[in-house]
Amino acid sequence: MSRLLTLLFAIVCYAIFFATFLYLIVFVGDFAFSGRTVDVGPEAAPLTAALIDIALIALFGLQHSVMARPAFKARWTRIVPPAAERSVYVLAASIALMILFLGWRPIGTIVWNVTNPLLGSVLWALFWIGWATVLVSTFLINHFELFGLQQAWFHVRDRQAAPPELRQPFFYRWVAHPLYAGFFLAFWAAPEMTAGHLLLAAGLSVYMLIAIRYEERDLTHLFGEDYRRYRAGVGGLVPRFRRRSGRSSAA
């Protein structure tokens, strides 16, 4: 029964995550049919709004960074069953995003506004390509393990996960962090950029650059020289299209 409850908990956490992810697209894209977006919400003086928004971004970044560290996981799994650890992380990340949605204070000053229809269409295309890249990248690195469903399912089946291995599926042949690259596109490709949107894009970009350093350190610790060779042969966020020699693959 406890295993089935763990699986049910994982499914609920995943459903909450997916709904939150979809709303993040709506929030960043400033789609008018939603109640709150990056440019629609409670008003505040610009300085007050900026301080509140920075605090919300910091909360999101701290949750992601701290709970993702191996040292935290080692201690956390003394309290939370290992099969549910990732689902708890996913739930906490979703809650952090919900807090950001609810607490966000728009800053409406226009930084740039693209009036050329062709260029505007290109930016919207990049916006959607960014989100598609994010979603596809999660499947390339095992979507269901990334969001906790695989761990709970294996727990029900009394099955052990295979040891982690290095692979280089699709995007990972040319870029080490396509998921982050997709987020960069999604956050920055805006035909109309307000000061509030700029703050969100810049704040989350800083977080991602910091997260990449920690992630690469963890992967180097896990895979050693294999990961160093792989990383030397591909771009970080921008694809590097060239022939590589030696054994290289992506995590």
Number of other CB atoms surrounding residue 157 within 10 Å: 10
242 falls within a domain = no
241 falls within a domain = no
- Residue 19 token pair: 């709904």
172 falls within a domain = yes
Q: Is the dihedral of CA 151, 76, 164, 213 positive or negative?
A: positive
Distance, first Cα to last Cα, the chain: 34
- Residue 215 token pair: 């992630």
Q: What is the pLDDT of residues 133-157, one digit of tens each?
A: 999 999 998 899 999 999 999 999 8
131 falls within a domain = yes
Q: According to the model, what pLDDT value does residue 251 have?
A: 45
- Residue 183 token pair: 């987020």
Q: By the 8 A CB rule, do 231 and 216 touch?
A: yes
238 falls within a domain = no
Q: According to the model, what pLDDT value does residue 243 have?
A: 55
Q: Which domain holds residue 17?
A: 2-233
Q: By the 8 A CB rule, do 146 and 139 touch?
A: no
15 falls within a domain = yes
Residue 132, CA distances (Å) to 2, 98, 143, 201, 204 in order: 36, 22, 14, 18, 18
239 falls within a domain = no
Stated length of the chain? 251
The residue with tokens 């191996």 is 70
Structural domain total, the chain: 1
Query: What span, in angstroms and rounded, lies between the C-alpha atoms of 81 and 73?
Result: 11
In degrees, to the nearest 5, what angle opens at C-alpha 66 toward C-alphas 99 and 212? 100
pLDDT under 70: residue ranges of the chain: 1, 242-251
Q: According to the model, what pLDDT value does residue 250 have?
A: 43
Q: According to the model, what pLDDT value does residue 165 have?
A: 84
245 falls within a domain = no
Query: What span, in angstroms and rounded, lies between the C-alpha atoms of 250 and 247?
Result: 11
